[in-house]
């Protein structure tokens, strides 16, 4: 009987077979969520490519999973956990928030699967936090209890955005006019990066030249557009302030880890940006934050790794 793990974001679904003894992942496939009308259709297509029946499934998914009815935040899929288990004829179905899954991968990352940004050192057993901009902005904390890592779910990406400079305050006012409440996700995400760029264009009195986050990033890294360059600068600054807030929330002496599909695309720029300065700039607690390390996760599929950690823990214990 096979065990399958999945990582479902607002854009892509990644699936792999998990060896319950070793945790090794195989037969990994990635699909665009938009290819399928329902999650059932995506899973059935993947299962049909396997030679044996799947009986265990663990999915990390970008939304709350507390109730039987699961409604994705940044995509159209919604489904009943009970009905999905019956449809797929599973012995067990486990659903995690996608950042719960990613956080569980962190203690098992190898040195070459993470890139350190700035100073600080990990305190063994210290609380960790993982966040990352992608289609949305996910957040999860990780605590060490009774020789196990436990992930604390939350919706930290939807906390109110705070401004830490005059320019950021001007951007925030524009976004408040547009959205009313402005969450951190309204800036720290793919769509949020576009919001940030368009706001800077409005403040400069110039029409936007780009509509997609990849276009803005490319223009910034090639120095083609000063406003795109400034957008990337401010993006890194706001991310630093947000990361510092997360580190303070639960005294994350075990480190702050950045996941998601956006930051690894410009990791060299990020390492030289104002991220770490804004991370540490917390007034009387600056000295405290200088001791906390920050990392970019470079593992290609941390969500799958974390889902496999959870699945094996549930089945084997």
First to last CA, the chain: 18
Could you list the residue range(s) of the whole structural domain that residue 65 is in? 2-98+301-316
Is there a domain that residue 40 lies in?
yes
Is there a domain that residue 104 lies in?
no
Are residues 135 and 12 both part of a single domain?
Answer: no
Are residues 122 and 235 both part of a single domain?
Answer: yes
Are residues 120 and 179 both part of a single domain?
Answer: yes
User: What residues contact residue 20 under an 8 Å CB cut-off, 6+ apart?
Assistant: 3, 56, 311, 312, 315, 316
Are residues 152 and 115 both part of a single domain?
Answer: yes
Are residues 91 and 165 both part of a single domain?
Answer: no
DSSP E strands, the chain: 2-8, 12-18, 25-32, 54-61, 69-71, 78-80, 92-97, 114-117, 128-133, 137-145, 148-152, 256-258, 294-297
Residue 263 sits at the vertex; the CA angle it makes with 103 and 133, to the nearest 5 degrees, is 60
Domain with residue 204: its CATH number is 3.40.367.20
Handedness of CA 234, 239, 240, 242 (dihedral sign): positive
pLDDT at 155: 87
Separation between Cα atoms, residue 301 and residue 315, nearest integer Å: 22
pTM of the model: 0.86
150 DSSP β-pair partners: 143
Is there a domain that residue 105 lies in?
no
Separation between Cα atoms, residue 316 and residue 268, nearest integer Å: 41
Are residues 290 and 142 both part of a single domain?
Answer: yes
pLDDT at 97: 87
Which token pair is 244? 């510092």
Sites in the chain below the pLDDT cut of 50:
none
Count of domains forming the chain: 2
Domain with residue 70: its CATH number is 3.30.420.40
Are residues 127 and 228 both part of a single domain?
Answer: yes
Are residues 76 and 194 both part of a single domain?
Answer: no
The neighbour count for residue 302, using CB atoms within 10 Å, is: 29
Separation between Cα atoms, residue 216 and residue 194, nearest integer Å: 8
């Amino acid at each position: 009987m096979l065990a399958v793990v999945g990582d479902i974001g607002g854009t892509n679904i990644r699936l792999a077979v998990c060896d319950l003894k070793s945790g090794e992942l195989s037969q990994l496939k990635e699909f665009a969520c938009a290819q399928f009308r329902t999650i059932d259709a995506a899973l059935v297509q993947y299962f049909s490519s396997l030679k044996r029946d799947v009986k265990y499934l663990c999915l990390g998914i970008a939304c709350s999973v507390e109730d039987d009815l699961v409604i994705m935040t940044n995509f159209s899929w919604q489904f009943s956990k009970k009905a999905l288990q019956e449809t797929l004829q599973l012995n067990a179905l486990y659903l995690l928030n996608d950042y719960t899954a990613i956080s569980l991968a962190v203690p098992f990352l190898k040195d070459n699967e993470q890139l350190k940004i700035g100073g600080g050192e990990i305190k063994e057993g210290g609380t960790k936090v993982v966040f990352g901009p992608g289609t949305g902005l996910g957040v999860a904390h990780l605590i060490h209890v009774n020789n196990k890592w436990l992930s604390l779910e939350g919706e930290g990406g939807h906390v109110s955005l705070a401004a830490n400079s005059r320019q950021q305050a001007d951007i925030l006012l524009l976004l408040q006019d547009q959205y009313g409440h402005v969450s951190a996700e309204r800036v720290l995400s793919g769509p949020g990066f576009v919001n940030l760029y368009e706001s800077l264009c409005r403040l400069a009195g110039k029409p936007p030249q780009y509509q997609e986050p990849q276009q803005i990033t490319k223009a910034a890294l090639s120095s083609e557009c000063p406003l795109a360059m400034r957008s990337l600068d401010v993006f890194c600054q706001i991310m630093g302030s947000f990361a510092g807030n997360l580190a303070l929330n639960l005294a994350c002496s075990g480190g702050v880890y950045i996941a998601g599909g956006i930051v690894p695309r410009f990791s060299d720029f990020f390492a030289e940006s104002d991220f770490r300065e804004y991370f540490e700039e917390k007034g009387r607690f600056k000295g405290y934050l200088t001791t906390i390390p920050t990392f970019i996760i470079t593992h290609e599929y941390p969500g799958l790794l974390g889902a496999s950690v959870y699945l094996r823990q549930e089945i084997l214990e």
